[in-house]
Structures are given as structure tokens and as C-alpha cells.
Amino acid sequence: MSIMQRMCRLGAVETRIQRPPNGVRGRGVMLAALLALAACGGGVPAGGSGTEGPPVYGATGPPDYFAMGATAPFTTAYRGLRKVELYYDAQAPIVYREDVGSDGQGKFCVETVDVLISSNPNTSLFLLLQTQRQAQIYRHRDFRIRDLGLFLANYDYVVAPTPTTVAGVTCDRIQVQARVAAQSRFEVDIDPTTGLVMAWEEHDLATGNLEARITFETYAPNGDLSDMVLIDRVFQTSTYGVDSGNFRAALGFLPLIPQLQPGIGYQLVPQAEVLVVNGEKWAKLYLTDGMGTCIFMDSMLANSGGASAGPSERKDEVAVMQVGSWSSLRGTVRGHSVIMAGRVSELDLATVLDSSLR
């Protein structure tokens, strides 16, 4: 029996799976938790592409700063205040400000300073959770060109003829959408001198509605970071080749490796991570189409004696959630604890998980 068949045996999950891609709307706190794991990028849900004709690269090819996008947040020293507006759930919008900074050498800090709009009355808990997931927010939430070759293969873009200004920085405005089965259109303001994204908006192609907007309100190059607690990783992390024996040896178990992708144009990143969380080892893999990223994590369950639980010792249970074009999956499968998230459909996540069990 496949994981998708198992999922459909669970009543609550079955209801979600059968809904259309935009049908599931979570509460604000659930959305914030999902965005902490999920990455920004164009997904491949059901539906036709809104882009016709060949991709638009400009007269001389893509701008040079496109190649800087993957590392710009880590190699640019700055400090600024950003306004974050998330409207994926029209009934539970979230608007807040965050103080963000980078030392330009890989360390950063993201601190939520005030909540302007929220349906969640427990602001203190939200602020605590934001602190705990700041690494995921900084690395995965925002628009970024993560792999230039895959981005050019999977996305169309247009550079607007007139520059924009964001927090005193002159930017190029780029309009972006997936070439196949696009669901969203992005408008992105990029500092051409650093490649840093200064602002971005996501609009639903079907309705034209604004889904998200994140904008620097203040920005200081080489700003003072002395009162910030800079981090690079929340948990102890090591990097290995996905197919290497060292990866499996570091984990101490055989990790689940996806054999199928969550959408057209996605590829499995050849480098994986081993995270140590409260003494427990997790495999963390990434699948990307150049902008969007799907995160795949798994760890072996432990039985009461501390040893790894065998496939027959734990009952398989999987729960999924979708908010707008974002989906997450968490569950127990064949003795593994699994967490997945990305801008893809719930069925796409189930397909990837099912492929890892073959």
C-alpha cells in the first residue's frame, strides 16, 4: 500500500487531499509555522501556465546580479527593519516588523519586534516561536534565486525599464513567474550592486490578489550589529553528499531518499545535512527548481529502550496541511519520523514521500 493510499485512510487527511490547491485555509499561527519551514518559489500545482511564448532574458542575457542571489543574504553586511505582510489566509492575515542583520560572513539575526495585525491573541508565544525559527525564516522564507541554471530553465522574467527605490536603495524591479503551471506572479526589487532582495510581492494569478509582501523600511549597509545575537545554525549541522557512505555513517541509519520530484523542474540537491536536535540525528535534504525549495527531513524513531524502532513497531500516521500554495507534511512511516514542506501541493509531497519508500 502506498503512502498516498495510507493518507486517504485517515479521515481528516482525506478531506484535505481532496480539496483544490487553494482550498485549505489554516489559522494565522499555523501559517507562520509553515512559512518557517517552507521556501519561497514558484510551485507546480494543477492548472495552466499564464506565460505564453519564449522566456524573456533581455538583450544580453540575465543580469549579473542574478548569480549573486544565492549568497547575497550571507555575504552582504547590513542592518534593516522589514515589514512582513502575509495574506495567504484572508481570514487570518499576519503583519509584523522584523529587525534583521548580517555580518557579511555568514552570520545573521532576525528578530520580530512588533505585531501589527494578527488573529492570534497570544503575541508572546508568536514572538518566542519567531526567535526559535529565525534560521529557517532567514534561509528559506523569502524570494531568492537559489540555483541560477535551474531558475533560468524553469522561470520567465522581465526586468522593468524604470528603477525603483526601497529604503534609499536604487533597485531593479523584476517580474517573475514559473514557465509551466504558474500559480503566482512575483514582483521583486533587487539591489544590483549586492544581489540582495530589498522587497518582494507575491500575487495570485487566478485572482490577482496580493498574497505576501516583504519590504525593507530602513536599510544601513555595514550597520551596527553590536546589540544583535548573530547565528549561522540553530542546531549542530554537518554536510555530506547524498549518496556518500559518510552521510549514512554520520546518521547511523539508512535515510529515506526521494526518487521523484515534487514538480516539473525540481531536482534533488546533491548535498545533504545531518542535524543533531536534542541528541537526535536528522537527515535534511533539499529539492529545488532554482527558486522554490522543498525540504525533506527524516529521523529514525526510538523505542522505549533507546534503540531504533523497526518498521513494524510503530503505526504509520501522516498529517498534511495546505495554506494557499504552501503545504507541509509530518508523520511516521516505516519507523521514520518525517517532516516535509514546500510551495507544492499536498499530493506532490505525498508523491515525494512515497518515492522514498520504494
* Backbone φ and ψ of 353, nearest 5°: -60, -45
Q: What pLDDT sits at residue 337?
A: 94
What cell does 65 get? 546580479
Task: Give pLDDT tens digits for 318-329.
Answer: 898 877 667 899
pLDDT digits (tens, 9 = 90+) for 180-189: 988 899 999 9
C-alpha–C-alpha distance, residues 272 and 256, integer Å: 12
pLDDT in tens, 266-306: 999 999 999 988 889 999 999 999 998 899 999 998 763 44
- For residues 100 and 109, the answer to whether their CB atoms sit within 8 Å is yes
Strands 317-323 and 271-277: unpaired
pLDDT at 1: 52
pLDDT of residue 140: 86
Alpha carbon separation from 37 to 65, 134, 296 (Å, rounded): 26, 10, 10
Pairing type for strands 317-323 and 77-86 reads: unpaired
Mean pLDDT in residue range 215-232: 97
Residue partners of 51: CB distance under 8 A and separation at least 6: 156, 177, 178, 179, 182
Beta bridge partners of 190: 172, 197
Residue 101 and residue 228 in contact, taking contact as beta carbons nearer than 8 Å? yes
How confident is residue 230, by pLDDT bands cut at 50, 70 and 90?
Answer: very high
Which residue from 334, 353, 356 is spatially nearest to 342, judged by alpha carbons? 353
| Distance (Å) of CA 329 to CA 67, 97, 352, 353 | 32, 28, 11, 9
Write the burial class of residue 298 (CB in 10 Å: 0-12 exposed, 13-18 middle, 19+ buried). buried
Which of the residue ranges 79-88, 244-253, 275-284, 308-317 would you say has the lowest mean pLDDT? 308-317
Euclidean distance between the first and final Cα of the chain, in Å?
11
CA distance 347 to 345: 5
The reported pTM is 0.79
CB 101 within 8 A of CB 227: no
pLDDT at residue 8 above 60?
Answer: no
Q: What structural domains and CATH numbers belong to the chain?
A: 3-27+234-356 (3.30.200.100), 28-35+44-221 (2.50.20)
Per-residue pLDDT of 102-156, as tens digits, reads 999 999 999 999 999 998 888 889 898 888 889 888 998 899 999 999 999 999 9
Reported as a single tens digit per residue, the pLDDT across 71-117 is 999 999 999 999 999 998 888 899 999 999 999 999 999 999 999 99
Nearest of 17, 36, 18, 16 to residue 26 by alpha carbon: 16
For residues 249 and 242, what is the distance between their CA atoms, to the nearest angstrom? 12
The answer to whether residues 142 and 134 touch, using CB atoms and an 8 Å cutoff, is no
